[in-house]
Every structure is written in C-alpha cells, then in structure tokens.
C-alpha cells in the first residue's frame, strides 16, 4: 500500500480498546501514519495521540453541560491538526455527540469519514441515522440488526461482528481463579460490576451495596466480588466498600471474576455484552442523573435497554432502570437466580444464542480490510 495517513478517534474506554486493535490491524496492512484522539490502548498501539479521550468522556446530559468548554477546545484542536496533516480518511469510533460534529467539520475540508462502531441510533432518535448518511461514506456495525437499520436510511452500512467476541476470555480456569483469591467453590459467588466511570460508580454502588446486605441475610455464605477497572479503587472506597462490608475488591481481572460467578449485577453497556459472552446470568442495572433520565424516557424507542435483551429480541435477563434500580429489586432478582439452578440454566442457554448472533470473530480484521480497500481506491 502507498504511504497513507489516517485520523483515528475514540472518546470512551470501549472505543479506545477497539480503536487500538484496529490501529494494529491497519499497521499490519501498511498504513504508515495514524494519529488522533484516544487513550491507553491506542497509545500502546503506537497511535500519535493529539488529544486524550479521558478529557472528553462523559455520560449523561448534565455531565456534557459541565464539559462543554473542553469538548469545544478538543474538537477545534483535532480539526486544526487534521487540516494541517491532511489524512486520507478519518475513522471515528462511536461517541456520536462528539464525532458527528467532528465529521461535519472534516467534511468541509474534504476529509472523508468512516464510522467504525456505528452509534446506537436505533435505540433513540433514529432519525439521526440521516446525519450519518450525509457525513460518513461508510458505517461499520457491530450488532446484527444495525446493518438493516442503517441501510434503511441510505447509509452504506456493513455488519462486521462484535470485536468483543475475540477479546472476552478469562485468563485462567474457574478453579485456578478461586484458588488464587482464596474463594470457596462450595459457596455462591456474586460479581458486582458498577461501571467503568466514576460517575457510574457514584450512581450504582449505593443500591448494589444495599442489595448485598439483603442477599447476605438470605444466603449467609454468599461471596461478593467487586470487579473494577484499575484506578477506580479509591472511588469505591470513598463510597463505603471495605473489608468490613464483606465485599472483596479485585481490579484488572473482570473476565475471571464474571466467568467464575454464579450471577452478576452489571451496569448496562459494554459490561453487559461482556457478561453475555462469558455466559453468566446477570441483572442489568442503570441509573442516570434525574434530568438525563427524564429526557431519555421521552426519547428511547426500544422495548428494552439491556443489550442482551436487545440482541436476543426478547427479555432474557432482568433490567432495572432508574427507580427500579434499588436494593430490594436488585436483591430479589439476584436471589431468584441463586435459588434456582433451572433459572440459571435457562438464562445460560439464552446467552449462548446472544453470543452466536454477535458473529464468529474477526470483526477488527474485517474493519481493517474495508478501510484498507478504501485507501487503495483513493490512491488509484
């Protein structure tokens, strides 16, 4: 491939993970220069980072308002540098609130854009798919139903499979993990995944802790493991997690924790897809700031908000949103799983169907092949 330059941008932790892998795959195909916005995975992949995604990562309308200044400065900076460096393509990863605006600015300078991980506009404000058609030459989708949705709005969309199919694997067997962390295989294990952002932990940890106390009253031998991304331990400690609460905190081993658990309490989003791929029955929870929740109730058009249910096209795991995300409801649904091997088996079977729908693997390589082909076409 002739010398080529790409702007690659990601604004959230999951996008940084996928974009970092995509950068490596593109480098293997001869892409010589990749610069953009991202985090540790993209940096490790050798991307020349001109902006840090940690500065712009937000969740919810109220958070966006507080970060408007830095969002605008970051957008201006990326556009200015891109105009100077003239990439052949801009590959933008999810994060639509930012990337739709970035694409509009880049289009003015004749920089074509590819949407890698097309946003979930089928869930709310589906008309925004028309904006994708106007500003992006191609959209790469990771959920099977998205291709038809986007094509219905005239977008050149392709289902590539979900990148997590290749990524989500425990690093050791259940027996090895339990032995390493002195956990008792004869007692039930409940994994706790409150989210990957401090704001999510702030919203979710209190009802989760309340639920663990109720569960422990009914199942005295239950073992609770709080699985955290590295760097979030202090946030959890500040909200009351300690050895005295009977909760073990383990960082950097989420897949081992979840695959070893009998049931997981999981914040909605990427973690619920990861839990589905590991086949662990789960209760999916989510709480927003009140203003965000009020607006979303009016905008969301899907019958479910938990990704496993959306992928399965039916309710296969409990989903507790906003007021329902309380200690009593979380404990009730968790105890239903702990008390019923049949309920766990039924959910495991349904989660196997979800995994099958997410593809057979190779999503990143498919994306890299499509982008490489576009670069070759441009060089002719």
Residues 310 and 375 in one domain: no
Domain that holds residue 15: 5-161+362-379
Residues 157 and 91 in one domain: yes
Helical spans, DSSP H, in 55-143: 61-66, 68-85, 96-107, 129-135
- Tell whether 143 is covered by a domain: yes
**Rounded distance between C-alpha atoms, residue 178 and residue 163, angstroms:** 28
**What integer pLDDT is reported at residue 287 of this predicted model?**
83
| 64 has pLDDT over 60 | no
Percent share of the chain, pLDDT over 70? 88
**What integer pLDDT is reported at residue 235 of this predicted model?**
59
Residue of 322 and 253 predicted with greater confidence: 253
**Rounded distance between C-alpha atoms, residue 150 and residue 134, angstroms:** 12
Which tokens in the block code for residue 5? 């330059």
- Tell whether 295 is covered by a domain: yes
> What is the domain-level CATH number for residue 280?
3.40.50.2000
**What integer pLDDT is reported at residue 13 of this predicted model?**
85
Question: For residue 298, is it left (φ>0), alpha (ψ between -120 and 50) or beta?
Answer: alpha
Is residue 106 very low, low, confident or very high in pLDDT (cuts 50, 70, 90)? very high
- Tell whether 268 is covered by a domain: yes
Residues 330 and 260 in one domain: yes
Is residue 12 very low, low, confident or very high in pLDDT (cuts 50, 70, 90)? confident
Residues 141 and 198 in one domain: no
**What integer pLDDT is reported at residue 55 of this predicted model?**
85
**What integer pLDDT is reported at residue 88 of this predicted model?**
97
Beta-bridged to residue 92, according to DSSP, are: 9, 115
- Cα–Cα distance list, 311 to 47, 74, 164, 203, 315 (Å): 32, 34, 14, 25, 10
Mean pLDDT value across residues 65-90: 90
Residues 344 and 196 in one domain: yes
Question: For residue 116, is it left (φ>0), alpha (ψ between -120 and 50) or beta?
Answer: beta
| 234 has pLDDT over 90 | no
Residues 190 and 115 in one domain: no
Residues 255 and 138 in one domain: no
**Rounded distance between C-alpha atoms, residue 311 and residue 91, angstroms:** 25
Nearest to 288 by CA among 65, 60, 56, 12: 60
Q: The pTM is what?
A: 0.88
pLDDT digits (tens, 9 = 90+) for 121-161: 988 789 999 999 999 999 999 999 999 999 999 999 999 99
- Tell whether 312 is covered by a domain: yes
- Tell whether 169 is covered by a domain: no
Mean pLDDT value across residues 47-58: 88
| 61 has pLDDT over 50 | no
Number of structural domains found in the chain: 2
68, 101, 308, 265: CA torsion to nearest 10: -10
Residues 230 and 324 in one domain: yes
* Backbone dihedral angles phi then psi of residue 355, each to the nearest 5 degrees: -60, -45
- Tell whether 134 is covered by a domain: yes
**Rounded distance between C-alpha atoms, residue 336 and residue 45, angstroms:** 43
Q: Name the DSSP letter for residue 128.
A: G
Residue 156 exposed, middle or buried by CB count within 10 Å (0-12, 13-18, 19+): middle
Residues 345 and 371 in one domain: no
| 177 has pLDDT over 60 | yes
Residue of 12 and 316 predicted with greater confidence: 316
Mean pLDDT value across residues 82-99: 96
Residues 336 and 371 in one domain: no
Residues 179 and 157 in one domain: no
Which tokens in the block code for residue 358? 């997410």
Mean pLDDT value across residues 154-183: 96
- Tell whether 167 is covered by a domain: no
Residue of 344 and 286 predicted with greater confidence: 344
Residues 338 and 208 in one domain: yes
| 41 has pLDDT over 80 | yes
pLDDT digits (tens, 9 = 90+) for 297-352: 666 666 788 999 999 999 999 999 988 999 999 999 999 999 999 999 999 999 99
Mean pLDDT value across residues 11-27: 95
Residue 159, classed as helix, strand or coil, is strand
* Backbone dihedral angles phi then psi of residue 249, each to the nearest 5 degrees: -105, 130
- Tell whether 168 is covered by a domain: no
**What integer pLDDT is reported at residue 140 of this predicted model?**
98
**What integer pLDDT is reported at residue 25 of this predicted model?**
98
**What integer pLDDT is reported at residue 294 of this predicted model?**
58
């Amino acid at each position: 491939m002739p010398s080529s330059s790409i702007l690659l941008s990601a604004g959230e932790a999951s996008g940084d993970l996928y974009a970092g892998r995509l950068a490596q795959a593109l480098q293997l195909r001869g892409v010589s220069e990749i610069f953009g916005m991202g985090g540790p995975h993209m940096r490790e992949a050798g991307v020349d980072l001109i902006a840090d995604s940690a500065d712009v990562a937000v969740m919810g309308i109220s958070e966006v308002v507080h970060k408007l200044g830095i969002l605008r400065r970051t957008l201006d900076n990326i556009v200015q540098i891109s105009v100077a460096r003239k990439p052949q393509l801009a590959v933008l990863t999810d994060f639509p609130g930012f990337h739709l605006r970035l694409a509009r600015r880049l289009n003015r300078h004749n920089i074509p854009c590819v949407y890698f991980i097309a946003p979930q506009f089928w869930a709310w404000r589906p008309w925004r798919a028309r904006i994708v058609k106007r500003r992006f030459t191609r959209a790469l989708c990771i959920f099977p139903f998205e291709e038809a949705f986007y094509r219905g709005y005239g977008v050149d969309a392709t289902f590539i499979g979900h990148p997590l199919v290749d990524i989500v694997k425990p690093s050791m067997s259940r027996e090895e993990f339990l032995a390493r962390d002195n956990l008792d295989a004869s007692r039930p294990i409940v994994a706790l995944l409150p989210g990957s952002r401090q704001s999510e932990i702030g919203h979710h940890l209190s009802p989760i802790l309340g639920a663990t106390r109720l569960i422990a009253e009914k199942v005295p031998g239950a073992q609770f493991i709080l699985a955290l991304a590295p760097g979030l331990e202090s946030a959890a400690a500040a909200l009351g997690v300690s050895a005295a609460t009977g909760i073990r905190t383990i960082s950097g081993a989420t897949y081992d924790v979840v695959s070893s658990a009998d049931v997981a309490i999981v914040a909605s989003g990427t973690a619920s897809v990861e839990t589905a791929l590991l086949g662990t029955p789960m209760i999916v929870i989510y709480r927003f700031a009140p203003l965000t929740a009020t607006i979303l109730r009016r905008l969301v058009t899907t019958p479910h908000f938990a990704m496993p249910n959306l992928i399965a096209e039916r309710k296969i795991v409990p989903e507790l949103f906003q007021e329902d995300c309380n200690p009593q409801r979380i404990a009730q649904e968790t105890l239903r799983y702990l008390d019923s091997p049949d309920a766990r088996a039924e959910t495991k079977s349904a989660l196997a169907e979800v995994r099958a729908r997410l593809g057979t693997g190779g999503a990143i390589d498919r994306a890299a092949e499509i982008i490489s082909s576009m670069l070759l076409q441009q060089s002719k």
